């Protein structure tokens, strides 16, 4: 997978920008707040139709404009593809080769991207919500059906929570109505849980091997799914359905009192253990960084395994955060096989000897020059 060209219009701090002639490795150099991250964010948005920095699409539109547009031409194993995303205050529209897509889930995954940024350390040591978002975004771009079930689940969850709050305040409990919400919630919830477990199992295989290599065989990394009901290894949908329904019946009275849904994939978690110890609690910062790096490198290989070609790699001001050894490990992983876009405030802190034939772009106040 290779990005040939990209254009931005009224996107963040870019009024008009067109870039082409990309290399296998592309360095965007500039001081902070000049627009470096905005550039690779745009590529990430083209892959997943949403930003890794905000849930509000209107923040992607330049202050003076009413709409923004991102377009790109990519080379895939089956040929060239042109993508377009338009953002307005009313929503977004997506096109593939000039044809508008009825659903965003049909657009997501046309190109694939792995993003590695300093805040990815939060995947290891942050809240469960950060890890669930990580799972949702990564699974969604290789399995579009996952996004459908996730969107439906989230809609039903909001409606079910609203019902619980209203029932408690009104002092009336309609078990028939709750049964309807339960069945719909569980129907989509078990699909999400099953796909998460399968994804983590595959990611484990790659991440364990990569982590072992980075640490010279000294550390064993284990990924574990932590469900809000049942067991982590159960994948049979019929069994998951029954377990989910039983759990909802057990917490029903608590849910009425609290006005929220207390079981389901929206409350699940992912943990990381190094040599048997939980990385978030007992891991050093170096171990946590290595865990995050192993995850991202594992993602690259997992996507290749799933779709038959490598994704693009987006490194947002992350190389300077790694020591020389980890920089070398990361560069040697993508060098020669993964098209990579890197942002940095300068080249002094980068292992430039390893960045062979990198194309360098200079970014200043929303302008880019080679």
Q: Is residue 230 a known part of a binding site? A: no
Whole-angstrom distance, CA of residue 80 vs CA of residue 70: 17
Question: SS3 sequence, 182-200?
Answer: HHHHHHHHHHHHHHHHHHH
Whole-angstrom distance, CA of residue 300 vs CA of residue 51: 19
Sheet containing 67-76: order of strands: 14-20, 2-11, 67-76, 79-88, 91-96, 99-100
Q: Is residue 34 a known part of a binding site? A: yes
The angle, 0 to 180 degrees and rounded to 10, between the axes of the packed helices 128-142 and 175-214 is 80
Q: Residue 8 phi/psi, 5° resolution?
A: -125, 140
Q: What is the number of other CB atoms lying within 10 angstroms of the CB of residue 242?
A: 14
Q: Is residue 32 a known part of a binding site? A: yes
Identify the three-state secondary structure at position 69.
strand
Tokens matching residue 313: 């790699």
Tokens matching residue 16: 């008009």
CA dihedral 247, 248, 254, 259 (to 10 degrees): 140
Report the DSSP pairing between strands 99-100 and 312-316: unpaired
Whole-angstrom distance, CA of residue 97 vs CA of residue 65: 25
The residue written with tokens 């799933």 in the block is 306
Q: Is residue 31 a known part of a binding site? A: yes
Show binding-site residues: 30-37
Which residue numbers belong to the known binding site for ATP?
Answer: 30-37
């Amino acid at each position: 997978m290779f990005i040939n060209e990209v254009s931005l219009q009224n996107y963040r701090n870019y009024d008009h920008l067109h870039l082409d002639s990309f290399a296998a490795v592309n360095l965007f150099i500039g001081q902070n707040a000049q627009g470096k991250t905005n550039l690779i964010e745009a590529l990430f948005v083209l892959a997943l139709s949403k930003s890794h920095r905000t849930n509000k699409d209107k923040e992607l539109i330049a202050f003076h404009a009413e709409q923004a547009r991102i377009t790109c031409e990519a080379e895939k194993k089956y040929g060239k593809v042109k993508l377009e995303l338009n953002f307005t205050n009313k929503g977004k529209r997506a096109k593939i080769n000039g044809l508008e897509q009825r659903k965003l889930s049909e657009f997501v995954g046309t190109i694939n991207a792995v993003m590695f940024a300093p805040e990815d350390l939060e995947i290891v040591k942050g809240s469960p919500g950060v890890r669930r978002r990580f799972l949702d975004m990564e699974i969604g771009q290789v399995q579009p059906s996952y996004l459908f079930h996730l969107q439906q689940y989230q809609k039903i969850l909001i409606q079910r929570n609203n019902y619980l709050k209203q029932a408690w305040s009104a002092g009336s409990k309609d078990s028939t109505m709750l049964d309807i919400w339960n069945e719909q919630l569980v129907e989509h919830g078990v699909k999400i849980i099953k796909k998460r477990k399968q994804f983590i199992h595959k990611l484990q295989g790659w991440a364990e091997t990569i982590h072992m290599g980075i640490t010279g065989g000294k550390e064993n990394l284990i990924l574990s799914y932590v469900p809000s009901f049942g067991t982590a290894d159960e994948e049979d949908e019929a069994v998951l359905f029954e377990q989910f329904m039983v759990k909802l019946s057990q917490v029903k009275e608590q849910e009425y009192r609290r006005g929220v849904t207390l079981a389901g994939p929206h409350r699940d978690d992912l943990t990381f253990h190094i040599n048997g110890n939980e990385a978030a609690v007992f891991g050093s910062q170096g171990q946590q960084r290595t865990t995050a790096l192993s995850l991202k490198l594992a993602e690259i290989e997992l996507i290749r395994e799933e779709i038959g070609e490598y994704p693009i790699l987006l490194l947002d001001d992350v190389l300077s955060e790694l020591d020389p050894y980890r920089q070398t490990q990361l560069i040697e992983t993508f060098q020669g096989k993964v098209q990579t876009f890197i942002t940095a405030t300068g080249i002094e802190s980068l292992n430039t000897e390893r960045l062979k034939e990198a194309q360098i772009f200079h970014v200043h106040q929303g302008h880019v020059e080679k």
